[in-house]
A = this chain, B = another copy of it.
Amino acid sequence: MLLRELREQVLEANLELVRSGLVLHTFGNASGISRKDGLVAIKPSGVPYEKLTAPQIVISDLKGKVVDGNLRPSSDLATHLELYKHFPNIGGVAHTHSEFATAWAQAERPIPCFGTTHADYFHGPIPVTERLKASEIAGDYEQETGAAICRTFARFDPDAIPAVLVAGHAPFCWGPSAAGAAHNAMILEYVARMAYHTLSINAESRPLARELHDKHFLRKHGHNAYYGQVKT
């Protein structure tokens, strides 16, 4: 993939986060990776979205060294890199402080799967990381955040649950591309919002039955998927 194309995709994913109402001020960032080159494109740090242009998107290698671009990358770059290194199938990462997903992260509660909207996208509850230790916060904080996410996914398949809640912070989502990650961030926020209401209506609400959860996830994502138009 050409760097220019990657930058355009990452710019577009960042703007999609804004259009979806997921970011406040400059809180949030999306990135994409060219696996062939081992290069990651990410939003620059603290630049207002309304002024963001493709050439401002920063290109970094997987060690965090900026190889192209005049601005500093998002301070969350090291978290994104950790995910790219440990989740080999993902092509994009999106981070927001969206209202309800962030509230679940602050409450340190996984989002249960209460319905088929959730099941269509996430094959299980959205997990929460452990809190970072003081030594991790004092160390390479952003990388440690990524490491905490990866430890959480020791028990889960990141391709089947493309989202996590970082305790006391906010969600990170991923997907096959920057656009896919941003799309998952939008669905996650909606799912987080409805799960919140569900528990308010009935504190004893039961998660979806396993069979129905499988049915919905697999009718969109499995080998026998029949949702949408046939890809030919």
Q: Is A1 an interface residue (CB 8 A)?
A: no
Whether A228 contacts B116 by the Cβ 8 Å rule is no
Determine how many copies of this chain the complex contains: 4
Question: Which residues of chain B are within 8 angstroms of A102 by Cβ–Cβ distance?
Answer: 115, 117, 194
- Tell yes or no: A108 within 8 A of B by CB: yes
| A150 in the interface (beta carbon within 8 A) | no
How far is A24 from B186 in the complex, measured between Cα atoms in Å? Answer: 9
Contact of A104 among B109, B183, B201, B209 (CB under 8 A): B201
What per-residue 1/0 map shows which CB atoms of A159-190 lie under 8 Å from chain B? 00000000011100000000000010011001
Cβ B105 vs Cβ A115 within 8 A = yes
The count of chain A contact residues (Cβ–Cβ below 8 Å) is 62
Contact B197 A100 (CB under 8 A): yes
- In the assembled complex, A123 has its CB within 8 A of some CB on chain B: no
Q: For the complex, is A156 an interface residue (Cβ under 8 Å from B)? A: no
Stretch from A3-11, A32-40, A82-90, A133-141 that touches the partner: A133-141
> Are A196 and B197 within 8 A (Cβ)?
yes
Q: Are A45 and B229 in contact (CB under 8 A)?
A: yes
Beta-carbon contact of B199 and A201 below 8 Å:
yes
Instruction: Determine whether A153 belongs to the interface, using a CB cutoff of 8 Å to chain B.
Output: no
Given known pairs A104-B201, A198-B107, the reply for A186 and B25 (CB within 8 Å) is yes
The CB with the most chain B CB atoms within 10 A, among A75, A102, A186, A226, is that of A102
The smallest C-beta distance from A17 to any residue of chain B, in angstroms, reads 15
Is A224 positioned at the interface, with any CB of B under 8 Å from its CB? no
Q: Note all chain B residues with C-beta closer than 8 A to A72.
A: 228-230
Please report A residues at the B interface, Cβ cutoff 8 Å. Answer: 24-25, 27, 44-47, 71-72, 75, 97, 99-100, 102-109, 114-117, 120, 131-132, 134, 137-138, 141, 168-170, 183, 186-187, 190, 193-202, 205-206, 208-209, 211-212, 215, 219, 226-230
Inter-chain pairs besides A115-B169, A132-B212, A134-B211, 12 sampled, C-beta below 8 Å? A27-B117, A45-B229, A46-B227, A47-B229, A71-B229, A100-B197, A103-B198, A105-B115, A107-B197, A115-B168, A116-B169, A132-B209
Q: Which 4 A-B pairs have the closest CB atoms?
A: A46-B228, A103-B197, A107-B202, A107-B201
